[in-house]
Amino acid sequence: MPVGLVVMTVVASFTTSSGRTAQLTVPLLVGLGVLGLGLGVRALRRVDPYAAGCAVVAFLAVGAPVLASGEPTFTGYVKLDDTATFLALTDRVLEHGRDLDGLEPSSYEATLADYLAQGYPTGALLPLGVGARLVATDPAWVFQPYLASLAAMLALGLYTLVGPVLQSRLWRAFVATLASQSALLYGFALWGGVKELYAAFALALVAATVPLVRGHARSGLLPGTAAAATMLALSPGALIWLLAPLVVLLGGMRVKPRAAAVACATAVVLALPAFAAAGRFLQEDNRAVLRDDGELGNLIGPLDPAQLLGIWPTTDFRVDPGDMRMTLVVLGVTLAAAAIGLLFAVQRRAAALLAYAASCALGAVAYSALGSPWLEAKAFAVASPGILLLALVGGTKLLERRRAVAVLALATIAGGVFASNALAYRDARLAPRAQLAELELIGRTYTGEGPALMTEYQPYGVRHFLRHLDAEGASELRRRPVPLRDGRVLGKGEVADIAAFAPEAVLVYRTLVLLRSAGPSRPPAAYRLVWSGSFYDVWQRS
């Protein structure tokens, strides 16, 4: 499954590089899937139940808030509106690639111009779009299952990495499952951090597959493909993460030169769409933002580097734990166990595990030194399973020599992870399924009857569900200013009654989608009510 996911990313990245071939993506991948299923029937009979079990647990952990609600929705609502942008990019790229021709001015079009047209990497989003089309549903309703699937793929990668140092498959499953739930990465997952989860999974897969370069030349195809998928998801800047596996494995293994050459060539060739887009994405203006010390994104302040250890017992990873002394004790135990795990990995010459740990360390250090606090936080999230994995390996191996100490250490580490994620789970913000489903219905019913205006801050409406109405939000990213009667324009996140807006600014829009609780006033006389739901009224002028 992890290999299939990166292959899907690579193939879809090439087909969506052009608007002419974008719509071939799903049929092509379905054909490849059928072919792969036929070739892999025998492998299905040899499923490792422990590996499958750790994947299922990781899936359930990330999907838990939504599963418990009983409704198809997603987490991270209000916390971060990036998911609305991701949905907009997913909508467009699988239909038209990066081509924006034919789009009328709207919040959707403005979002795509700011991201897609600027070379923003879409590799992590492509499997989401393909999956949504295969099950014939809106990508918003499969977003959380996709995040959970990425967590499951990460757990499988970690399970493979610890194989050379842990003989027991049960302990491998325990270690891999727990490491895949590192607190910071889990926190980002509950915010909708699709790129962070994808990157964490892809890096584990790269490290797990690079040992194959000791075989015949074709064995280099798999690690090369995984490396390419990493760059397609993150941009060529992901090379920072990939340097460590290259150095550690090529320096500590008997590598077949042809296989190594094939791996490197495959990575470069299959990542060509990422290199083609990088010229726009990494232009000077964007690089300045990525390096700006004041760029906090949705943070309160820079994160504590201690969060790299994978434990941070608080409802919101942006703030310190309530009992910092106890937290420091747990972190100290984790760090000591990680040192023991590193020693065992060196003794066993577990090159793949060492490569993964080095990749996490190098990426975290590099982005901390070169990037903004927001970029640093993302890098910390991606890297956080690495030290936690070593700590769990160290505690598990210590069972062979000092059982009582090992049990205490493992219980402390596991308790820290469980406590951290239980607190984060309590603070998970679910998107209002019924309200967004009503916007989805409005978007389908009134397709082409735009432009439309929303006076509330609802990025999921204007960037995604109402995209075919060329909708704009009065306090959202937009092309047209929508001034109030006093000439002021709403700031991001603000809401105003429809009567507060200058009539001439409102009359530009054919359709108004107004939250029923937004205010008692009705729109200008030229508009008539054409539909009323539980949450929204739709008004149109002739």
pLDDT tens figures, 217-249: 787 889 999 999 999 999 998 999 998 877 765
pLDDT band at 381 (very low <50, low <70, confident <90, very high): very high
Q: Residue type for 30, please?
A: V
Report whether pLDDT(319) > 90: yes
As a whole number of angstroms, the distance between CA 315 and CA 388 comes to 20
pLDDT band at 287 (very low <50, low <70, confident <90, very high): low
More reliable by pLDDT, 284 or 123: 123
Mean pLDDT for all residues in the chain: 91
Q: What percent of the chain has pLDDT over 70?
A: 94
Nearest to 275 by CA among 539, 536, 14: 14
Query: Does residue 121 come out as left (phi exceeding 0), alpha (psi in the -120 to 50 range) or beta?
Result: beta
H or E segment at 530? Answer: strand 527-532
As a whole number of angstroms, the distance between CA 313 and CA 325 comes to 12
Q: What tokens appear for 191 in the block?
A: 């915010």
What is the rounded average pLDDT of the residues 475-490?
Answer: 92
pLDDT band at 518 (very low <50, low <70, confident <90, very high): low
Report whether pLDDT(43) > 60: no
Report whether pLDDT(172) > 70: yes
Nearest to 374 by CA among 251, 193, 115, 197: 193
> What pLDDT is stored for residue 252 in this prediction?
53
Instruction: Tell me whether residue 361 is exposed, middle or buried, using C-beta atoms within 10 angstroms of its C-beta: 0 to 12, 13 to 18, 19 or more.
Output: middle
> What pLDDT is stored for residue 247 in this prediction?
74
Nearest to 454 by CA among 428, 438, 473, 432: 473
**pTM for this predicted structure:** 0.94
Report whether pLDDT(300) > 80: yes
Report whether pLDDT(352) > 80: yes
Nearest to 537 by CA among 508, 506, 499, 511: 511
495 neighbors 455 (Cβ within 8 angstroms): yes
> What pLDDT is stored for residue 281 in this prediction?
62
Q: Which residues of 218-245 are buried (b: 16+ CB within 10 A; e: fewer)?
A: ebbbbbbbbbbbbbbbbbbbbebbbebb
More reliable by pLDDT, 86 or 284: 86
| Residue that the structure tokens 């054919």 belong to | 510
As a whole number of angstroms, the distance between CA 1 and CA 11 comes to 15
Instruction: Give the chain's radius of gyration (CA, Å).
Output: 24
Eight-state DSSP code of residue 140: G
HEC string for 341-377: HHHHHHHCCCHHHHHHHHHHHHHHHHHHHHCCHHHHH
143 neighbors 83 (Cβ within 8 angstroms): yes
What is the rounded average pLDDT of the residues 376-384?
Answer: 96
Q: 511-515 and 452-454 as β-strands: parallel, antiparallel, unpaired?
A: parallel
Query: Where would I find the H helices in 22-168?
Result: 25-39, 41-44, 49-69, 82-96, 107-114, 126-134, 143-161
Report whether pLDDT(258) > 90: no
> What pLDDT is stored for residue 401 in this prediction?
83
> What pLDDT is stored for residue 444 in this prediction?
96
Q: What tokens appear for 181 in the block?
A: 């739930």
> What pLDDT is stored for residue 290 in this prediction?
64
| Residue that the structure tokens 């001034």 belong to | 483
> What pLDDT is stored for residue 124 in this prediction?
96
> What pLDDT is stored for residue 259 in this prediction?
80
Report whether pLDDT(329) > 80: yes
pLDDT digits (tens, 9 = 90+) for 386-396: 999 999 999 99
Report whether pLDDT(105) > 80: yes
